[in-house]
Structure formats: structure tokens, C-alpha cells
């Protein structure tokens, strides 16, 4: 029964995951922790704050050409960039509470370990329906959400939502049970992978219609302002959603009505199998905010501290001055678009290039060099994440399926 409940949308993805070995489907091995880490070239872009009208530079530049399968990276240059990024990350670390830093690292590792297990159990049929993994993008969800306040701020996102659901505070048990379509899931097993929700943690889903959450998120920020709350809304979406009318209409209204919203475009450079370059006439998404007079920043999504700091600036702008911001956060997904993606549109080399600049490796190294964590601390973090994932799987296994009479409760059409 739970499989039927999961199939909310009928897009033409071929579910051949039971017959093909995992690596054949993805075309590349997913590494938890690649041994070496190098970074991509970064340069500058405009960071216009419509509040004070000033422009300043921020790194790196968005429209220097999205990495394509054929692009070659100058290894030495990339390594120099990596070192530079680590230096800036270490500077940020100095000004941040060590306890918070360790929790950020834990959340990233938990997200990675948890989703690697998801891929594993999906193949044996424990998870059914669509399943989009976040592996490689952990620094975005962790950096942004942990810069907000869970008591008063709202989060809304797309279907790649498991890790973000855990970062807001939904337990791994409830997320895994939801993925299994079980009654112990955070929405009783009726939402599945794409529809995580939590009233308790102000998490407004989990949406399968590309760009649909941008309009809803704008309405949430409108409600926050109308009710004179001092909360802000974080609205996540992928770069493919930017080509939709809803993006442009929402940004126009948010700036016109001065809404406390932060639009977070997770630019992982692909919309299913289509690279951003093939689908968007101007590749700089951050600069599209200029057309609405909106503050915007381009951010390196492999750097959790850069994401955190950019979000903090945007939260301040939203909370203090009730003004929106568009953040374009450049990242990369290591896995296929969903579990049924054969991954034929990009090369293994391209995937490996990004794995070498893994956001967890970078953060772990920065924290170790800054003496915030020791090797022993890191091992403990990994063990905790693994134990938590095992516990979640046991809980999901033992949780019952939703009762048949639940089929029509809490369903709105
Ligand atoms: C309105 C709409 N059109 C098409 C689809 C099919 N679809 C599902 S995911 C996707 C790609 C979205 O890519 P992006 O927004 O970049 O997010 P990502 O998957 O990269 O996180 C498409 C076209 C959909 N779900 N909704
Ligand atoms: Mg995308």
C-alpha cells in the first residue's frame, strides 16, 4: 500500500533500479570522504544591497561558465583556490561558537551517512516511489538553516528534502519511517520522500512541483509580515525553477511588498539531465534579482561557513528591515537526479572533480587545523551518525504501515 501512496506525480522516470547494480545506475562511486580535496576557481560578482544601495564584491563569480562535462580544471590553480577557501573558512571559524561548529559538522555527516543508507535500502525495495538524494549539497541546507531560528523562522523546500528535514529538527527515525511509507513517519507515511512536513519545526514541505514552493513561500513571508511576527522565511529551490514564471512573479511581489524572505537557489547545475547552460540564457541567477531591485549574493555551496554567513546577512536584512534577498548557492549533486536516473548526461570525471572539493572534507580539515576538533572527535561524529542512522532504520522497519482508514484523512484536493 505504501508504494501507491508515494506516487503523487507521474513523470516519465523509468524505475529499473531493481534490475541494475547501483554503480551502473549512477556511473560513479559515491565517496563519503575523498582523501584529497581541491577547489574550483572563484572570482567576484556584484553584491547589491537594495537597502543601502551599496555594491561590494563577493566571491566567486557565477557566470564564468557552468562546469560542463568537457571543462578541464587546472589542478594547481584549483588547489590554490582550495587553500584560499580553507583560509577564509578558518577565519570564519574563529568567530563562531565551537559547539555550533561541531553540530554543523555532525549534521553534514549525518545527512551524508543517512542518505547513503537510503540509496542502499531503496535498491532492496524498502523505500518506494521517487527518491531524490542530497549527497554533495549538505553544506547548503546545514549552512542556511542553522543560521535561522527554529522558534520563529519558516522553511519551505523542493523534493530533495530529507537532509533539510533533519536539520530543522525532525528526527532521523521520523524521516526514515516516512521514506518507508510507515505510520511512524513525520506525516504518517503518507507523504514519502518528497513531502516531509513538520508543524512543530515550522517546516512547510517538501514540494514536487518545480517552483511551486516559491509562490507558497512568498505567501508565508507575507503572513509573517501581516501578523507582525519577526520571523523570516527560507525558501529553497533548484536552478531549473528559475525559468518558471512563478520565480519572477514572486520576486517582484516580495520586493514591492518588502517581505522578509530569503530565496535560496541551490544551483547544482542540472535540472534532471539538462545542464543549466542548455536551458538558461543568462547563467548568473543572482543577477536576476537586480531586475527587481533585490539584494543578492552568489555563494560557494561547497563552503558551509560561506553559506552560513551569506544567510546571516540575508536574515538580518529580512528581520531588521523586512527586505528580501536572493542567494544563488552553487553546489553539485553527486548522485543521479533521482534513484532512477541512469546519469548518461555527465561524465564520471566531472563528478569526481567535485568530490575532490567535498564540503565535508573541507570543513573537517578546517576545524581540525583550527583545533576545534581532533581526529578522535571526528571519529566519534561519524560513529554517532552511523548509530543514529541504524536506529532510524530499525524504527522504520518496526513501524506499522498506515491504517487503511488513514487513506482519506489529512488529504486535501
Ligand atoms: C512544474 C514541473 N515541471 C516539470 C517537473 C519534472 N521535474 C521534476 S524535477 C525537475 C528538474 C528540477 O531541477 P532543479 O529545479 O534544478 O532541482 P534539482 O533536482 O536539481 O534539485 C523536473 C523538470 C515537475 N516536477 N514540475
Ligand atoms: Mg538543479
Give residues (CB < 6 A) around ligand 1.
11, 158, 160, 208-210, 238-241, 268, 270-272, 337
Ligand 1 center–CA 400 separation, angstroms: 32
Minimal CA–CA distance to 163: which of 108, 226, 220?
108
**Best of 210, 267, 278, 333 for a ligand 1 pocket test (most atoms within 8 Å of beta carbon):** 210
Cβ(270)–Cβ(346) below 8 Å: yes
- Residue 79 has what pLDDT? 67
Residue nearest to atom 15 of ligand 1 (CA): 238
What pLDDT, on the 0 to 100 scale, is given for residue 83?
79
Question: How many whole angstroms separate alpha carbon 274 and alpha carbon 132?
Answer: 16
pLDDT digits 0-9 by tens, 358-410:
999 999 999 999 999 999 999 999 999 999 999 999 999 999 999 999 988 98
Contact (CB, 8 A) for 231 and 224: yes
When pLDDT is cut at 50, 70 and 90, the band that residue 30 belongs to is: very low
CA of 381 from ligand 2 middle (Å) equals 29
| Atom number in ligand 1 closest to CA 271 | 13
Q: Closest residue (by CA) to atom 12 of ligand 1?
A: 271
Please give the C-alpha separations between residue 255 and each of 213, 231, 252, 314, in angstroms, as whole numbers.
Answer: 17, 17, 5, 13
| Secondary structure percentages of the chain, helix, strand, coil, to 5 | 45, 10, 45
* Mean pLDDT of the residues in the chain: 85
Q: Distance, CA 123 to ligand 1 centroid (Å)?
A: 23
- Ligand 1 atom index nearest CA of 338: 19
Any idea which residue has 513561500 for its cell?
217
Tell me, in angstroms, the distance from the centre of ligand 1 to residue 351's CA: 20
* % of the chain at pLDDT higher than 90: 74
pTM: 0.85
- CATH class of segment(s) 2-9+82-403: alpha beta
Residue 387 alpha carbon to ligand 2 centre in Å: 31
The whole-number average pLDDT for the span 249-267 is: 98
C-alpha to C-alpha distance for 145 and 308, rounded to whole angstroms: 8
> Do residues 135 and 333 touch, judged by C-beta distance below 8 A?
yes
Instruction: Tell me which of 131, 205, 271 to substitute to probe ligand 1's pocket, judged by most ligand atoms within 8 Å of the beta carbon.
Output: 271
**Cα 312 from chain centre:** 17
The string of DSSP letters for 154-165 reads: EEEE-S--HHHH
Q: Residue of the nearest CA to atom 17 in ligand 1?
A: 238
At 316 the three-state DSSP class reads helix
pLDDT at 207: 98
Q: Quick: pLDDT tens for 34-85.
A: 333 333 333 323 333 333 333 333 344 443 344 444 455 556 666 676 778 8
Residue reference for cell 572563484: 42
372 Cα: distance to centroid of ligand 2 (angstroms): 33
% of the chain with per-residue pLDDT over 70: 81
Q: Measured in whole angstroms, how far is the alpha carbon of residue 398 from the centre of its chain?
A: 29
Residue of 114, 163, 131 lying closest to 17 (CA atoms): 131
In 346-405, where do the E strands start and end? none
Whether residue 5 is predicted with pLDDT greater than 60 in this model: the reply is: no
- pLDDT given for residue 23 in this prediction: 34
Say what the pLDDT of residue 7 is: 28
Q: Is the pLDDT of residue 19 over 70?
A: no
Res 113 pLDDT > 80? yes
Ligand 1 centroid – CA 272 distance (Å): 6
Q: Is the dihedral of CA 65, 66, 68, 71 positive or negative?
A: positive
Question: Residue 411 — pLDDT band, cuts 50, 70, 90?
Answer: confident
Index of the ligand 1 atom closest to the CA of residue 267: 16
Q: What is the distance in A from the centroid of ligand 1 to the CA of 14?
A: 16
Q: Which of 19-33, 269-283, 322-336 is least confident?
A: 19-33
Distance 241 CA to ligand 1 centre (A): 7
**Relative to the alpha carbon of 337, which ligand is closest?**
1
Closest-CA residue to 263 (of 294, 225, 224, 308): 294
d(CA 160, CA 195): 9
What pLDDT does residue 175 have? 98
Q: Which residues of 142-167 are buried (b: 16+ CB within 10 A; e: fewer)?
A: bbbbbbbeeeebbbbbbbbbbbbbbb
Which atom of ligand 1 is the closest one to the Cα of 9?
A: 25
Q: Whose CA is nearest to atom 7 of ligand 1?
A: 210
Given the CA of residue 208, which atom of ligand 1 is nearest to it? 25
For ligand 1, atom 19, the nearest C-alpha belongs to 271
Residue 352 confidence (pLDDT): 87
pLDDT reading at 150 higher than 90? yes
Ligand nearest to the CA of 135: 1
Mean pLDDT of 172-178: 98
**What is residue 356's predicted lDDT score, i.e. its pLDDT?**
85
Identify the pLDDT of residue 77.
65
Amino acid at each position: 500500500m505504501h508504494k501507491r501512496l508515494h506516487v503523487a506525480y507521474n513523470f516519465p522516470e523509468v524505475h529499473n533500479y531493481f534490475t541494475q547494480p547501483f554503480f551502473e545506475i549512477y556511473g560513479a562511486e559515491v565517496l563519503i570522504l575523498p582523501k584529497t580535496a581541491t577547489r574550483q576557481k572563484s572570482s567576484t560578482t556584484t553584491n547589491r544591497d537594495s537597502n543601502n544601495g551599496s555594491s561590494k564584491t563577493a566571491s566567486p563569480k557565477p557566470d564564468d561558465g557552468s562546469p560542463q562535462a568537457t571543462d578541464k580544471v587546472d589542478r594547481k590553480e584549483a588547489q590554490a583556490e582550495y587553500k584560499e577557501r580553507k583560509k577564509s573558512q578558518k577565519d570564519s571559524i574563529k568567530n563562531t561558537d565551537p559547539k555550533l561548529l561541531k553540530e554543523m559538522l555532525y549534521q553534514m555527516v549525518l545527512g551524508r551517512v543517512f542518505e547513503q543508507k537510503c540509496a542502499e535500502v531503496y535498491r532492496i525495495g524498502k523505500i518506494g516511489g521517487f527518491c531524490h538524494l542530497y549527497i554533495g549539497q549538505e553544506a547548503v541546507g546545514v549552512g542556511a538553516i542553522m543560521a535561522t531560528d527554529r522558534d520563529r523562522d519558516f522553511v519551505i523546500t523542493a523534493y530533495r528534502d530529507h537532509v533539510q528535514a533533519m536539520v530543522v529538527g525532525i528526527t532521523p527515525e521520523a524521516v526514515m519511517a516516512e521514506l518507508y511509507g510507515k505510520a511512524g513517519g513525520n506525516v504518517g507515511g503518507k507523504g514519502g520522500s518528497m513531502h516531509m512536513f513538520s508543524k512543530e519545526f515550522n517546516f512547510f514541505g517538501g514540494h514536487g512541483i518545480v517552483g511551486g514552493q516559491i509562490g507558497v513561500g512568498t505567501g508565508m513571508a507575507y503572513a509573517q509580515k501581516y501578523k507582525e511576527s519577526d520571523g523570516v522565511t527560507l525558501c529553497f529551490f533548484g536552478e531549473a525553477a528559475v525559468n518558471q514564471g512563478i520565480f519572477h512573479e514572486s520576486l517582484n511581489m516580495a520586493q514591492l511588498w518588502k517581505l522578509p524572505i530569503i530565496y535560496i537557489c541551490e544551483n547544482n547545475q542540472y535540472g534532471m539531465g539538462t545542464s543549466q547552460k542548455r536551458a538558461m540564457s543568462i547563467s548568473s541567477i543572482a543577477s536576476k534579482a537586480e531586475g527587481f531591485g533585490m539584494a543578492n549574493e552568489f555563494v560557494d555551496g561547497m563552503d558551509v561557513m560561506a553559506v552560513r554567513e551569506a544567510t546571516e546577512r540575508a536574515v538580518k536584512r529580512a528581520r531588521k528591515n523586512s527586505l528580501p534577498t536572493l542567494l544563488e548557492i552553487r553546489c553539485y549533486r553527486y548522485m543521479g537526479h533521482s534513484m532512477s536516473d541512469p546519469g548518461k548526461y555527465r561524465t564520471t570525471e566531472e563528478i569526481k572533480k567535485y568530490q575532490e572539493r567535498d564540503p565535508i572534507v573541507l570543513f573537517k580539515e578546517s576545524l581540525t587545523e583550527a583545533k576545534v576538533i581532533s581526529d578522535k572527535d571526528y571519529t566519534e561524529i561519524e560513529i554517532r551518525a552511523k548509530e543514529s542512522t541504524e536506529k532510524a532504520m530499525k524504527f522504520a522497519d518496526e513501524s506499522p504501515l498506515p491504517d487503511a482508514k488513514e487513506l482519506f484523512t489529512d488529504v486535501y484536493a
